[in-house]
Structure 1
Amino acid sequence: MEIPITGLLFHSEGSGSEHHHSLLITSWDGRPVRVHVHPISGDTSFDVGHYHHYAGTTEPAPSGVPHVHRYHVETSFNDQHVHYIQGTTGPAIPLPGGGHYHDFAGYTTVNGRIPHSHRYGGRTGNEED
């Protein structure tokens, strides 16, 4: 038996084992699968005399099931350079009034006149359709 599905294919930059594709199913057997994203923003740690701000949105993920989100964000331009932030959030954490958020944390890429990275972390905003 064949079940028609549609979806989005995400391409991850990288080489070797860092390169991969992810499929996000948007319909199953003609029925839509609801997806959502989350806003993500904050400030990095203060290192080598400066910090960076970052803001963006997560990749889409299905609603109503256990899930995580991938994210890719470029920091603000400070001290003559930027850093890149990427990772995967933790699992969904319900909010008392409905909806949910995700925790995220990690280290930026290394860059700058004095090569360095920054710590970052926080919670996403509530889900957005």
Structure 2
Amino acid sequence: MDIPITGFIVHNGNSDEDHTHILYLTSWDGRPMHVHDFSGITSVEVGHHHQYAGTTEPAPSGVQHCHYYCTVTSVNSGHKHTIKGTTGPALPMSGGGHYHYFEGCTTVDGLTPHTHFYCGHTGNALADNRC
């Protein structure tokens, strides 16, 4: 099955010969693509927490969908963590539009190896993304 897409490719400046470009889709099967910003604060573990912020990967508008996300936390106590996953499905907002719930655990890092829990909603649908 052929699905028409539009988008553009950007050289990412990476020296890895297998991944030198990033593909940004702007439409999928005639539907525009969209992204969501997300941010929050992780749980407190080993006496500290981390802040994080990022933008989801694109997904088609007008159909039920989820988004992939990946970002790196702030550096606290001499280390940082990676968070990544897939949001839940689109949840409608009373004034129009939608948001997505997300949650997970960070990578294991730190002098005392540990993870942090995180959760929240994309955009500013619900103000404080603390777990």
- Which TM bucket (shorter chain)? 0.7 to 0.9
1:81 corresponds in structure 2 to: 79
User: Please, what TM-score do these two structures have when normalized by structure 1?
Assistant: 0.77
1:6 partner amino acid = I
Q: Determine which of 72, 91, 94 is the counterpart of 2:92.
A: 94
| Structure 1 residue 6, shift from structure 2 partner | 2.7
Measured against aligned partners, the alpha-carbon deviations of 1:32-89 in whole angstroms (never above 9, x if no partner) come to 4211111110000000010000001100000010000000010001100000000000
RMSD: 2.6
SS at match of 1:90: coil
| Count of residue pairs brought into register by the alignment | 111
Measured against aligned partners, the alpha-carbon deviations of 1:3-40 in whole angstroms (never above 9, x if no partner) come to 572356xxxxxxxxxxxxxx968254xxx421111111
Q: Percent identity?
A: 55
Q: How far apart, in 2, do the equivalents of 1:57 and 1:109 lie? A: 19
Q: How far apart, in 2, do the equivalents of 1:40 and 1:59 lie? A: 11
1:26 partner amino acid = S
CA contact under 8 A between 2:31 and 2:62: conserved in structure 1? Answer: no
1:56 corresponds in structure 2 to: 54
2:117 partner amino acid = R
1:6 corresponds in structure 2 to: 5
User: Please, what TM-score do these two structures have when normalized by structure 2?
Assistant: 0.76
Q: How far apart, in 2, do the equivalents of 1:89 and 1:56 lie? A: 13
Unaligned runs of 5+ in 2: 8-23, 126-131
Unaligned runs of 5+ in 1: 9-22
